[in-house]
Amino acid sequence: MVERSSINLAPPLCHLVLASQYEMQQLQRWFNNAEQLHNWGGDSFDYPCTAQQFIAQLCRPATQSYSLITGHAAQWVGFGQLCDRFGCHHLARLVIAPTHRGKGLARTLIYELFIKALAEQPKPFSLYVHRHNTLALQLYIALGFVITAPPEPENPRLHFMTLEAGAANALVQGYLSDVNRRVDER
């Protein structure tokens, strides 16, 4: 079980909050074309679509949506979803705001989602990633995710990846130690 109650998250450190309806509507603006949207959200997303259609496609049953917030101004910089799927905590639709990419926030988003999920129940993590998304694939491999056989019919465009709960917990402990060190340095 992961605890973070003793951590003072001073800016510019990040934290997760439940995504608001407004944020989910604004999220649509992070994608400029059908290819970007499908690479992120899956082929079921219509492009273009109304804000109402986008929300309907985004909000899946038993899936929780989170926003990554950073800084004292509570700036929204990322989005991700968690659900129970395949006996795992399944990470879905991870994205960093276009103006904040390249700053290591994708890793932070994943760590924060690990914290949220492990606080509820320790079990493995899973995700899908497009095979051509080399940046995301490199990040997931660096975090210890491994490509495994998918638990459903294989989509030749996607890799299914998993990470054991113990490995995720170890990553979180290192992350929290770094957060504590940064807070102490202030």
Contact between 68 and 106 (Cβ < 8 Å): no
The answer to which of 11-15, 52-56, 101-105, 116-120 has the lowest mean pLDDT is: 11-15
86: left (phi over 0), alpha (psi -120 to 50) or beta: left
* pLDDT given at position 11: 40
What is the domain range of residue 18? Answer: 14-184
With respect to residue 4, please indicate whether it lies within any of the assigned structural domains.
no
Beta-carbon contacts of residue 90 (< 8 Å; ≥ 6 apart): 82, 83, 84, 125, 126, 127
The answer, yes or no, to whether residue 4 has pLDDT greater than 60, is: no
pTM here is: 0.91
> Coil, strand, or helix at residue 6?
coil
pLDDT tens-place string over residues 83-98 = 999 999 999 999 999 9
Contact between 54 and 42 (Cβ < 8 Å): no
Q: What is the tally of structural domains in the chain?
A: 1
With respect to residue 131, please indicate whether it lies within any of the assigned structural domains.
yes
With respect to residue 161, please indicate whether it lies within any of the assigned structural domains.
yes
pLDDT tens-place string over residues 16-74 = 999 999 999 999 999 999 999 999 998 888 899 998 999 999 999 999 999 999 876 78
Distance CA 98, CA 182 (A): 26
With respect to residue 75, please indicate whether it lies within any of the assigned structural domains.
yes
With respect to residue 164, please indicate whether it lies within any of the assigned structural domains.
yes
85 beta partners: 88
Domain with residue 137: its CATH number is: 3.40.630.30
pLDDT tens-place string over residues 108-165 = 999 999 999 999 999 999 999 999 999 999 999 999 999 999 999 999 999 999 999 9
Distance CA 62, CA 71 (A): 30
* pLDDT given at position 53: 92
The answer, yes or no, to whether residue 6 has pLDDT greater than 60, is: no
144: left (phi over 0), alpha (psi -120 to 50) or beta: left
With respect to residue 6, please indicate whether it lies within any of the assigned structural domains.
no
With respect to residue 5, please indicate whether it lies within any of the assigned structural domains.
no
pLDDT tens-place string over residues 22-38 = 999 999 999 999 999 99
Contact between 40 and 95 (Cβ < 8 Å): yes
**Residue 52 CB: number of other CB atoms within 10 A?**
9
With respect to residue 143, please indicate whether it lies within any of the assigned structural domains.
yes
* pLDDT given at position 182: 81
> Coil, strand, or helix at residue 43?
coil
